[in-house]
């Protein structure tokens, strides 16, 4: 039985079991340096707190920004933090991909009878992302209560579905950015530039000029990391078509980024680059 056929026979249960074992070992390793864990988590919270304070200062001088008041902006900010947590926690190893490729160490991932993408990504769980998650949830709840959105079963379901949807876009962006290392040496700047775009996710797209709206919607889809998915709750009477389509678009973007990542692996296999 060939390596490819073996990989196809692996089911979800198998990968969940493998991931649980890898996660436990990674957390044990990290928790042996508890001071580092506490400091990094605290640092993540402080970084996100600075954004919270920025909004407070901003809205002391401007009651609204293009129709968005303080609490609606905070909702968008909290939504973006929660949506960005999966890429922070589960896909952080993408930052190490270029080093593994350039050093030749990536070759070890190509000889195991499991999915290469899963094997590489699952090796690292960034625990400091949990600090971001906690702060994001707190901000979201705080803004939700002041806006007065009804707390219903369907509202919670919509929140979960569209948070998951929003996460797919940033994961896809970072997957694609990381995979450029298979073609470009010193591709770290691509990762940095794409990651910096996440800072725009906490702002409503309609405050930007036309060219940036197009850029953040159709080229680098940062608008789908928070703005469009959040409208399912913020504007239930005026939901744009792109909000309804965002789950399908998110799945498509993730799938394409995954295939692009694996295309780079094939190139690595054949060229040894």
> Given this model, what pLDDT does residue 9 score?
54
Whether the CB-CB separation of 204 and 194 falls below 8 Å is answered with: no
**Enclosing H/E stretch for 169:** helix 153-179
What pLDDT shows up at residue 209?
Answer: 83
Q: pLDDT value at position 71?
A: 92
Q: Which residue has the higher pLDDT, 173 or 70?
A: 173
Report residue 92's pLDDT band, with 50, 70 and 90 as the boundaries.
Answer: very high
DSSP 208: S
Q: Which 3 state secondary structure label does DSSP give 127?
A: coil
Question: Considering the chain, what is the average pLDDT of its residues?
Answer: 87
Q: Which residue would you say has higher pLDDT here, 167 or 110?
A: 167
Degrees (nearest 5) of the Cα angle 253, 140, 258? 15
Q: What pLDDT sits at residue 247?
A: 96
Q: How confident is the model at residue 22 (pLDDT cuts 50, 70, 90)?
A: confident
Is pLDDT at 90 greater than 70 in this prediction?
yes
According to the model, what pLDDT value does residue 78 have?
94
Higher pLDDT: 129 or 5? It is 129
Residue 192 has pLDDT above 70, yes or no: yes
pLDDT at res. 223: 95
Whether residue 10 is predicted with pLDDT greater than 80 in this model: the reply is no
Q: What is the pLDDT of residue 246?
A: 96
Q: Does position 273 have pLDDT exceeding 50, yes or no? A: no
Q: Is the pLDDT of residue 174 over 50?
A: yes
Can you give the pLDDT at residue 25? 79
Question: Which 3 state secondary structure label does DSSP give 228?
Answer: helix
Give the three-class secondary structure for 68. Answer: strand
Using the predicted structure, report yes or no on whether residue 145 has a pLDDT greater than 50: yes
Of 64, 100, 113, the closest CA to residue 182 belongs to: 100
Mean pLDDT of 73-84: 94
Residue 149 has pLDDT above 90, yes or no: yes
Question: 20-24, 82-86, 113-117, 252-256: which has the minimum mean pLDDT?
Answer: 20-24
Work out the burial of residue 134: count CB atoms within 10 Å of its CB; fewer than 13 is exposed, 13-18 middle, 19 or more buried: middle
Residue 166: pLDDT band (50, 70, 90) is very high
pLDDT top residue among 171 and 202: 171
For residue range 229-247, list pLDDT tens digits in order. Answer: 999 999 988 899 999 999 9
Query: Does position 1 have pLDDT exceeding 50, yes or no?
Result: no
Is residue 232 within 8 Å of 162, Cβ to Cβ? yes
Residue 203 to residue 218: CA distance in whole angstroms = 16
Mean pLDDT along residues 67-95: 93
* Mean predicted confidence (pLDDT) in 28-49: 71
């Amino acid at each position: 039985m060939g390596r490819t056929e073996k990989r196809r026979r692996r089911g979800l249960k198998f990968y969940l079991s493998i991931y649980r074992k890898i996660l436990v070992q990674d957390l044990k390793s990290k928790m042996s340096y508890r001071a580092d864990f506490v400091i990094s988590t605290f640092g993540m919270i402080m970084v996100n707190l600075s954004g919270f304070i920025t909004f407070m200062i901003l809205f002391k001088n401007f009651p609204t920004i293009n129709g968005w008041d303080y609490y609606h902006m905070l909702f968008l900010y909290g939504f973006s933090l929660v949506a960005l947590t999966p890429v922070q926690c589960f896909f952080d190893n993408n930052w190490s991909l270029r080093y593994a490729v350039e050093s030749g160490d990536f070759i070890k991932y190509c000889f195991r009878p499991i999915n290469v993408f899963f094997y590489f990504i699952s090796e690292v769980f960034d625990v400091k992302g949990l600090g971001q998650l906690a702060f994001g949830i707190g901000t979201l709840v705080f803004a939700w209560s002041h806006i007065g959105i009804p707390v219903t079963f369907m509202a919670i379901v919509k929140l979960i579905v569209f948070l998951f949807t929003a996460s797919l876009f940033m994961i896809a962006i970072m997957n694609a950015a990381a995979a450029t290392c298979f073609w470009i040496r010193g591709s770290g700047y691509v990762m940095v530039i794409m990651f910096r775009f996440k800072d725009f996710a906490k702002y409503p797209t309609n405050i930007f000029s036309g060219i940036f709206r197009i850029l953040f919607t159709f080229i680098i889809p940062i608008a789908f990391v928070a703005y469009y998915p959040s409208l399912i709750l913020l504007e239930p009477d005026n939901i744009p078509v792109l909000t309804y389509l965002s789950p399908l678009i998110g799945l498509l973007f993730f799938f394409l980024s995954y295939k692009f990542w694996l295309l780079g692996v094939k190139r690595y296999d054949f060229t040894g680059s």
